[in-house]
Structure 1
Amino acid sequence: MRQSPNERIAEDAIKAWKLLAILMAIIPFLLTLTLFILAYIFTFSYWYGIGLLAITLAEGIITIFIIPKLRWRRWRYQIYDQEIYIQHGILIVNRTLVPMIRVQHVDTKQGPILKKYGLASLTISTAATTHEIPALLEDEAYALRDQISELARVEQDDV
C-alpha cells in the first residue's frame, strides 16, 4: 500500500472552518428561537423547543469544536512529478490520485473567510472531475498552482 501524503494544509484552516460553522449554526438557533416564540404565542408545550434546543446545541458543539480539528488532522496532499495525491475524510478516508496528464487547469480561490486568515484553496480540474485542496497559505497556494501547471504542461509536451 502507498504511504500517506505528508504535506498538510495550513493550521489556520481550523479557525476558518470554526468561523464558517458558527455562521452556519445561526440558522438552527434562529429556528429554535422561532419555535419558542410560537410556543409562547400559541401556548403549546415548551418541551418541543427544549428538545430542539438540546439538538441544536449538540450539533453546534460538534460542528464548531470537534469537526474542524478532525478535518485538519486528516487533510493531506502530496505533489509528485507524475501525479497529485490527496487524502481527506473523517470517518471515511478518501485517497485520490490525479495523474498530471489529466490536469486541464488549476485555479486558486479565496472567499472572505479564507482571506481573513490569509488562506486560499487550490482547485485542480480534469475532464471528468474537480479536486480541491482547501485552506493553504496564500503564497503556498499560488506556488502550488504554478508548479502543478508547469508539471501538467511538461506531461502534455511529452505525449
Structure 2
Amino acid sequence: MHSEPEKRIHKNAIKAWTVNALIMGLIWFIPLGFYVTISIGDTFGTDLYWYQGIDWFLFTVLLIVALFLYLLIGLLYPKLRWQRWKYDVSEKEIDLLRGIIIKKRTLVPINRVQHVDTRQGPVYRKFGLSSVTISTAATTHEIPALDDETANELRNTISSLVRKVKGDV
C-alpha cells in the first residue's frame, strides 16, 4: 500500500475558491427572488402596499437557508477542500488524494499519460495560480491551484517522465 501523498496545493487556493464560491453562491438567492417576484406580482398593479402579498415567515426561512448555504459553501468549504488536497509525482505514477466527506485517491500510471496542460482562469490569475491537467485515454485529472512556477515545473516534469517511460527521449 502506498503512503499518503505529501505535497499540498498552494495556500492561495483557499482565497481563490472562496471568491469563486461567493460568486457562484449567489445562485442560492434565486429561489428567494422568484418567491418575492411571484408574491408581489399578484398585488403590485392593484395594491399600493405590494409587500402585503409576501408571506414573511416563508421569506425569512428562505433567506436564512440561502444565507446559511452561501456562508457554508463560501467560507468553510474552501478551507476544508484545501486541507484534504494532496498530490505526489514519481517516476511510476501520479498520486492524487482529495475529498471532504469521501476521500478519493487516484493513481495515474505515468505510461498512461497522453498529455499535460496548465490552465488558468481569471480568479486563479488574480491569485497567481494555475491548474495542471493530466489527460489519459480514458479521462482527465486535475491538480488545482498551484502557484504558476510550480505548475509549469510540474507540467514539464510529468512530460519528461512520460517521454522517458515511452522511450521518446
- TM bucket (normalised to shorter chain) is over 0.9
Instruction: Note the aligned Cα RMSD (angstroms).
Output: 1.4
CA distance in 2, matches of 1:139, 1:16: 17
Task: Provide the residue aligned with 2:29 in structure 1.
Answer: 29
TM-score by length of 1: 0.94
Cα shift readout 1:120-156 (whole Å, capped 9, x = no counterpart)? 0000000001100000000100000000000001010
Task: Provide the residue aligned with 2:2 in structure 1.
Answer: 2
Report the 3-state secondary structure (helix = DSSP H, G, I; strand = E; otherwise coil) of the residue aligned with 1:104: strand
CA distance in 2, matches of 1:44, 1:18: 33
Aligned match of 1:146 in 143, 149, 156? 156
Residue 141 of structure 2 corresponds to residue 131 of structure 1:
yes
Considering only CA atoms, is the larger Rg found in Structure 1 or Structure 2? 2
Aligned length in residues: 158
Deviates more, 1:18-27 or 1:32-41: 32-41
Please list every run of 5 or more consecutive structure 2 residues that lacks an aligned counterpart in the other structure. Answer: 43-52
Asked if the contact 1:36–1:46 (Cα under 8 Å) also holds between the matched residues in 2, the reply is no
CA distance in 2, matches of 1:157, 1:19: 43
Task: Provide the residue aligned with 2:59 in structure 1.
Answer: 49
Aligned pairs for 1:1-159 within 5 A: 1-42=1-42, 43-157=53-167
Please list every run of 5 or more consecutive structure 1 residues that lacks an aligned counterpart in the other structure. Answer: none
Q: CA deviation at 1:32?
A: 1.5
Identity %: 44
Q: Which runs of 4+ in 1 moved over 4 A?
A: none
CA distance in 2, matches of 1:124, 1:13: 19
CA distance in 2, matches of 1:147, 1:69: 28
Q: CA deviation at 1:47?
A: 2.3
In the alignment, residue 142 of structure 1 is paired with which amino acid? N
TM-score by length of 2: 0.88
In the alignment, residue 72 of structure 1 is paired with which amino acid? W
Report the 3-state secondary structure (helix = DSSP H, G, I; strand = E; otherwise coil) of the residue aligned with 1:63: helix
Q: CA deviation at 1:30?
A: 4.0
CA distance in 1, matches of 2:128, 2:138: 30
Cα shift readout 1:16-59 (whole Å, capped 9, x = no counterpart)? 00000110122222442342343344314222222211111111
Report the 3-state secondary structure (helix = DSSP H, G, I; strand = E; otherwise coil) of the residue aligned with 2:167: helix
